[in-house]
Structure 1
Amino acid sequence: MSSRSQALLRFLQRLEHVLDAVIQPVVFAGMAALIGVITLQIVSRVFFSAVGWTEEVARFLLVWITFLGATLAFQRGRHIAVTFVVEALPGRLQQLLRVAAVLVVLVFMVALIVIGHRYMQAQSFQKSASLRLSMTYVYAIIPISAAIMAWYALVDLVELIVNGPGTTAGIGSGTAEEPPA
């Protein structure tokens, strides 16, 4: 393809790397906070009287970590996929099916953004039991994570179109660097 297309793709991939670089430490911090809150919960139950808010905070952290972790797994192509049929097809048909799959994912993610936003708004009057925190903040991760995965899918779509039939890109192609094992 043209050099402009390649430049656009490189720009989108750099943005993808930046987003990935932001999400990774957030998930790490969430995991560290979850460990700390659960430790506090155990220690307080054993040695003192239970701290009431720890269970709620742990639950909310787990929800956010799960959704943000799913975006990282999506970006790296770590979600379950059956690809042997597509990989057995000739190049042009393989690219067409990969593009169709990415488009289906994009439609699903846009629907999840809309539904997640509606659900978030519907639950906005509700407060959490011990923290009295608006549940909007808890449910906000649904449209946020769907939007991030939609962005990753969009970058994959551009990559499929720009690089042509020989590309290995697809849903969550894993263009970001993997963390060391």
Structure 2
Amino acid sequence: MRHVIAVADRMNCWIFNLIAVIFGLISLLTIFQVFARYILRNPLVWSEELSRYLMIWIVFLGTAIALRKGLLISVEVIQQLVPKMVKKVLEVITVLVNLVLLFILIKYGFGIMANLVGQSTGAMDIPVAWTYAAIPVGAILAFLNSIVVLIEIFTEKGEEKNGGDLIL
């Protein structure tokens, strides 16, 4: 089980670094767009669209990492008031509900992508399905991270809830 957790943490490290690169790209693109619009008087017609689509990818990839690290918003009042064993049961139930919801998101995410085949974006003329691919990809990564969280709950490592270091 330790190997599975290590592989998941390594995957999350790569995803985290990818998100950082995408954030940097969005920042540079936005700065250049302002420069092109106000200094060169020739705005980039595709930069806003690309930034928007990259932000969508950041949200879905970041959600998978946040799930693994225990950083998603939650109400933990009940967990603070109950004994440790009941708390563990509640954590397992929460992860199982997450797994069901993520499975549904994966299924319908692929369905949405299938419905959008043949459509392209306005400014960049790329397939719209690439943008919507963030839904099932992010959900698959979150699903895998949920399984790792479940493994940690049963192996008592779940007490840390830090998921390892993300930065290489």
TM-score (normalised: structure 2) = 0.91
Alignment of 1:4-83 (within 5 A): 8=1, 10-48=2-40, 49-83=42-76
* Structure 2 CA distance for aligned equivalents of residues 31 and 103 of structure 1: 32
Q: Secondary structure at the match of 2:162?
A: coil
Aligned-pair CA distance for 1:177: 2.0
Q: Deviations over 1:85-131 (max 9, x none)?
A: 12321222221111111100010111111111111111122101111
% identity of equivalent residues: 23
What is the alpha-carbon root mean square deviation over aligned residues? 1.7
Q: Which residue of 1 aligns with 2:141?
A: 148
**1:13 partner amino acid:** I
Q: Is the 8 A contact 2:13 2:165 kept in 1?
A: no
* Structure 1 CA distance for aligned equivalents of residues 80 and 165 of structure 2: 23
Q: Which residue of 2 aligns with 1:168?
A: 159
Flag as ranges the 4+ runs of structure 1 deviating above 3 A. none
Aligned-pair CA distance for 1:61: 1.2
Q: Which residue of 2 aligns with 1:102?
A: 95
Q: Which residue of 2 aligns with 1:87?
A: 80
TM-score (normalised: structure 1) = 0.85
1:116 aligns with 2:109: yes
Question: What is the number of equivalent residue pairs in this alignment?
Answer: 166
Q: Which residue of 1 aligns with 2:123?
A: 130
Gaps of at least 5 residues in structure 2 are: none
**2:38 partner amino acid:** V
* Structure 2 CA distance for aligned equivalents of residues 178 and 90 of structure 1: 31
Gaps of at least 5 residues in structure 1 are: 1-7
Name which structure has the greater RCO, CA cutoff 8 Å, separation 6+.
Answer: 2
Distance change >3 Å, CA 124–CA 174, structure 1 → 2: farther
* Structure 2 CA distance for aligned equivalents of residues 162 and 28 of structure 1: 31
* Structure 2 CA distance for aligned equivalents of residues 126 and 95 of structure 1: 46
* Structure 2 CA distance for aligned equivalents of residues 113 and 154 of structure 1: 15
